[in-house]
Chains A and B, each alone.
Chain A
Amino acid sequence: MTTSIALERTPRVQYLLRIADTCLIHAQRLAEWCGHGPVLEEDIALTNMALDLMGQTRALLTHAGRLDGNAFDEDQLAFLRDERDFFNLTLVEQPMRRSSAHAPGGDFADTVLRNFLLASWLQLLWQQLADSSDAEVAGIAAKALKEARYHQQHAGDWVQRLGDGTEESAARLRAALGRAWPYTQEMFEHDGVDEAAAASGLGPARQALREAWQQAVAEVFAAAGLALPAATPFVSTGTLGRHSEHMGFMLAEMQVLQRTHPGGRW
């Protein structure tokens, strides 16, 4: 068994890992659809999205690894970190296609809605990160921005199709929105990590994205016949390293080979 690596957890590294881990875990969920999509063409499209996210994750993890004093590589970070050192949004851990003994699965409505909400957020984030004081981050962001724009467009189209499709699709989309919405609050929380990033010019504080995000989301929701749910006090804490119960299972699955084969070469 390979024991976990220990991160230094500087604000700079944590800020970047919040984005990298979000992309990684979302890609991991999207990969569940491979071979199981409702339409062959869409199967291919979802996998393209997952591949884009993998590219973004790998670039950011590699960079964050260098910034952390221990010079970890992308694989050490992905496969040997303990759950509490992952900083993804809790939203992306939620079940997508597969159900388990512990939780019912989601459906395609959950997927397109989450893709849309997330891509809208990432698009705004990458847009601002393209001006980062960190040149490497700015470079990653410039490429990722094009991809996020495309994902947002593609997912937004699907939200509209389902919202204004059949009665069944509209009902499923409303149910998916009910499940996802509470987790979006975390996208705009504010703490010392955000503070430090904004101050140093590394990237925007999350709260700076809220208004533009709500506007983009409201526009597509209107076309889809969806109402913006009311705010609740619920706040998820994945970005602080405290996850939902789904994360443990995801990491167990994702990390199993590296944990089982210390010193293995792949």
Chain B
Amino acid sequence: MYTQAMDLAPKEERAALRSAEDALLEERFEARIDEGAFIEAKDWMPEHYRKTLVRQISQHAHSEIVGMLPEGNWVTRAPTLKRKTILLAKIQDEGGHGLYLYAAAETLGTSRDQMFDALHTGKAKYSSIFNYPTLSWADMGTIGWLVDGAAIMNQVPLTRCSYAPYARAMVRICREESFHQRQGFDSLLVMMKDGTAAQRAMVQDAVDRWWWPSLMMFGPPDADSPNSAQSARWGIKRLSNDTLRQKFVDACVEQAQVLGVTLPDPDLKWNEARGHHDFGAIDWAEFYRVVGGHGPCNKERLAARVKAWDEGAWVRDAALAHSRKQATKEQAA
């Protein structure tokens, strides 16, 4: 899910080795990976490994930050004080997760400001799912159920990623993530079981709109992801797009039954021979459209982040100026 950008990039060729020493270092590095060892910030690493990680971790971080926006859209309209509190806490967690991930990426030689610049100028991507609009309160619960559900599937394997600062950030994130999916599902369950007909229709409508984009979150089919093999070798990406997507579908079918909602796929059915649910064709044209910048909310999401950053410049500058003045005063004293 966070590898969407890399999945779509042309196959990366490794730079020609520069020296015998580099070859030896690379050999030792690959051996450590093979034995399942962790790589820390100061360890020698191939440039390609470092760059891939910076891109993946920062895309993951950007996804968390941009992900605050579609949910932030409903905070002031939450229907009960309890739900408002829960939603605020969830969005705050996402901000925190972004922060942990930026911190992990910074250990690889980039800075948060540089990563923001890449995001704001369109060079870096974030998960496609956040380019869809949140149109009803039921979208909040549906995002919790489907989008956070998909995120958890991606995140747990990453706690065993070879790059340790990323793995440690993921452990922290997974610990906090547990309530996100649960509260979303719970919100939908209440509306479906105890709510009015209008509420049930609201939930079904939300599911109709979020189901297919959720499947697209897992990225293009394995056959169309040329960089996955290298990422897998390096323990950055442990399970393939299609494997995770199938796992997700199987889990959701059961959960949908508990909720009493219909998943909008007439081709969805249990395949005894495979031991999995078959599902219908994904509209990849839509996926490429959204990832390419032409989804329903791409421009608004980016504009919101750029605005927050630009309008916050005077605040950041003021805080820096103040602390430098204080430091000067202390030195003079």
A contacts B directly (C-beta below 8 A): yes
Which A residues are closer than 8 A to B by beta carbons? 28, 31-32, 34-41, 43-44, 47-48, 50-51, 54-55, 57-58, 61, 74-75, 78-79, 107-108, 160-162, 164-166, 168-169, 172, 253-254, 256-258, 261, 263-266
6 tightest Cβ-Cβ pairs between the two chains A and B:
A38-B312, A165-B318, A169-B318, A35-B68, A257-B79, A38-B315
Contact residues in A for B88 (Cβ distance below 8 Å): 31, 34, 47, 50-51, 54
Tell me, in angstroms, the Cα distance from A43 to B95 when the chains sit together: 8
Q: Are B196 and A169 in contact (CB under 8 A)?
A: no
Contact residues in A for B317 (Cβ distance below 8 Å): 165-166, 168-169
Q: Are A264 and B199 in contact (CB under 8 A)?
A: yes
Nearest chain B residue, comparing its CB with the CB of A74: B81
Contact residues in A for B323 (Cβ distance below 8 Å): 161
Contact residues in A for B196 (Cβ distance below 8 Å): 261, 263-265
The residue that B80 contacts in the complex, of A40, A51, A266, with Cβ under 8 A, is A266
Tell me, in angstroms, the Cα distance from A253 to B187 when the chains sit together: 20
Interface residues of B in 172-207 (CB under 8 A from A): 187, 190-191, 194-196, 198-199
Interface centre among A61, A161, A172 (most CB of B within 10 A): A161
Q: Interface size for chain B: under 10, 10 to 19, 20 to 34, or 35 or more residues?
A: 35 or more
Tell me, in angstroms, the Cα distance from A165 to B322 when the chains sit together: 4
Please tell me which stretch of B7-15, B31-39, B69-77, B208-216 contacts chain A, meaning at least 4 of its Cβ atoms lie within 8 angstroms of it: B69-77
Apart from A161-B323, A162-B322, A261-B79, 16 more pairs, CB < 8 Å: A28-B76, A35-B72, A35-B308, A36-B304, A38-B311, A38-B312, A54-B81, A162-B315, A164-B322, A165-B319, A253-B76, A257-B78, A261-B196, A261-B199, A265-B194, A266-B195
Q: Are B137 and A38 in contact (CB under 8 A)?
A: no
Interface residues of B in 274-320 (CB under 8 A from A): 304, 307-309, 311-319
Tell me, in angstroms, the Cα distance from A172 to B311 when the chains sit together: 13
Q: Shortest CB–CB separation between residue B12 and chain A, in angstroms? A: 30
Which B residues are closer than 8 A to A by beta carbons? 65, 68-69, 72, 75-85, 88-89, 91-92, 95-96, 98-99, 102, 112, 137, 187, 190-191, 194-196, 198-199, 304, 307-309, 311-319, 321-323, 325
Tell me, in angstroms, the Cα distance from A38 to B5 when the chains sit together: 27
Nearest chain B residue, comparing its CB with the CB of A256: B77
Tell me, in angstroms, the Cα distance from A107 to B112 when the chains sit together: 24
Q: Are B314 and A168 in contact (CB under 8 A)?
A: yes
Tell me, in angstroms, the Cα distance from A38 to B184 when the chains sit together: 28
The residue that A261 contacts in the complex, of B198, B308, B309, B319, with Cβ under 8 A, is B198
Interface centre among B187, B307, B318, B325 (most CB of A within 10 A): B318
Q: Are B75 and A31 in contact (CB under 8 A)?
A: yes
